[in-house]
Structure 1
Amino acid sequence: MALSIAIADDHPVLLHGLRQQLQSTSRKRFEVCASVTSGQALLRSLRGLTCDLALVDWHMPAHEGPTGGELLLCLREAFPRVALVVMTASQQPTLLGACLAAGAKGLYDKRGDSEQLQRILIQAAHGKTSVSPGFEAVLERHYLSRRHWGQENRQLLSPREREVINLSAEGYSGREIAARLARSEKTISRQRRSALDKLGLHADALPLYEPSLP
């Protein structure tokens, strides 16, 4: 039985290509029930539909409804039975982690091939977390363990830890942060380590950390 899927991407040419690609798979594995160009249109189109999957571009126009993590949270709340798969070209580990934390079961690298996309969609539809190989390598390199990939732990940071980690992500050294915040270097080092542990990040992921991600 074919899996029903809704696709959302703000690039009409890519959207058309994805629709054609999925509908022409061998054994007719997928049936595209909706293809839209905004988060608002996706939420509207899913009402009244029986849909197994939603394949969603991470970055879409914010003036046309929710996008990114906000869209995933809206979808998860309104349509909890729909498996969510995000497609993006970003190699940023904290963005990929944010996708999983917001409820995505799959992460598809837009540079990947059709077989890779099909595998991720099928596994996500069966409740398994599945990501493109390149994304898997990025996540494994920057997170302490696989269990940290889908965790949203920024709320666990104390205000002082958040200050330190944000300044570290901007490129400030421990000495510069200590001077800026009027704390000892030892204190800054301890707060930075504590924040990294809570976020599940290796230290070399800090230049890629974006505290503003939803």
Structure 2
Amino acid sequence: MKWSNLSPLRVAILDDHPLVRRGFGSRIESERDLKLVAMYAGSRELLAGLRNEAVDVLVLDYSLQQDELDGLNLIRLLRVRHPEVRILVSSSAESLATISLALRAGASGFVGKSQEVDDLLGAIRTVAYERVYLAQEVALELGHVPSRQGEDEVGKSIRVDSDSALVSHPLLSPKEQEVLRCCLDGMSVSQIAHKFTRSRKTISGQKQSAFRKLGVSCDSELHKIHGELSLA
């Protein structure tokens, strides 16, 4: 994709927080090679707008209100209805599992809301060139080293293995990884404690520590994410 000051890149924003929309929009409008063409507060408004508005890059909030399409299904739907639009996820849900799911669903990049706004601008330009954008530390955690910081080579896919994305997360200790593997095999805390000859309290603590690092809060979320990564 090529663009210039005379033919700027068309950018749209979906975010249900007005201050975020205005903040991102104002920053994008200050760039001569970018053109803010639309701002949406919800998924239905977005889907209706895209029928009439040409968009090159969509900056999409992953976590919307409960009555909206969830981020994962919205990305999948957009890939089917509007395959020409490059999707850049911007979210405060910055766990490795969430990022992996978004990429596998069809997003072209991920910018955490803890990052600088200038990172967002660089990410927009990166995905417009049909490259994948990830913050450097995220790329390393996913086992993917970009050709340049925050960028991937054109056409090269990201490999996110379900085991490496969950059980082999680099922040997990070896014992936390053991506990997670057993959890995914359906074992209870008591069964895991018996298997490794550790106390139930120790196993429970290691399990909760692993959950915090992965950004999940219960067994069902762990199994859901593992299943979705395996099927993606």
Could you state the TM-score of these two structures normalised by the residue count of structure 2? Answer: 0.64
Within 5 A, what are the aligned runs for 1:1-214? 1=4, 2-25=8-31, 28-63=32-67, 65-140=68-143, 147-149=158-160, 167-168=183-184, 172=188, 176=191, 208=214, 210-213=222-225
Q: How far apart in 1 are the matches of 2:182 and 2:76?
A: 24
Which has the larger share of helix?
A: 1
Q: Is the 8 A contact 1:109 1:135 kept in 2?
A: no
Q: How far apart in 1 are the matches of 2:112 and 2:101?
A: 15
Over residues 103-156 of structure 1, what are the superposed CA-to-partner deviations in whole Å (9 max), with x where a residue is unaligned? 011110112123211111111111101112343244349xxxx8433x679xxx
Over residues 67-101 of structure 1, what are the superposed CA-to-partner deviations in whole Å (9 max), with x where a residue is unaligned? 21001001111100000000112332111100100
Q: What is the percent sequence identity of the aligned residues?
A: 20
Count of residue pairs brought into register by the alignment: 173
Q: Give the Å deviation of 1:8.
A: 0.5
Q: Is the 8 A contact 1:93 1:205 kept in 2?
A: no
Q: Is the 8 A contact 1:170 1:207 kept in 2?
A: no
Q: Match of 1:76, SS?
A: helix
Structure 2 alignment gaps of length 5 or more: 145-156, 164-179, 196-209, 217-221
Distance 1:177 1:131, change over 3 A: same
RMSD over aligned Cα atoms:
3.3
Distance 1:16 1:133, change over 3 A: same
The equivalent residue for 1:159 is none
Q: Give the Å deviation of 1:62.
A: 2.9
Further displaced range: 128-137 or 84-93: 128-137
Q: How far apart in 2 are the matches of 1:89 and 1:135?
A: 14
Distance 1:170 1:7, change over 3 A: farther
Q: How far apart in 2 are the matches of 1:207 and 1:166?
A: 17
Over residues 160-188 of structure 1, what are the superposed CA-to-partner deviations in whole Å (9 max), with x where a residue is unaligned? xxxx8582499956x71698xxxxx7xxx
- Give the aligned residue type for 1:69: L
The equivalent residue for 2:169 is none
Could you state the TM-score of these two structures normalised by the residue count of structure 1? Answer: 0.69
Q: How far apart in 2 are the matches of 1:39 and 1:10?
A: 9
Q: Is the 8 A contact 1:123 1:129 kept in 2?
A: yes
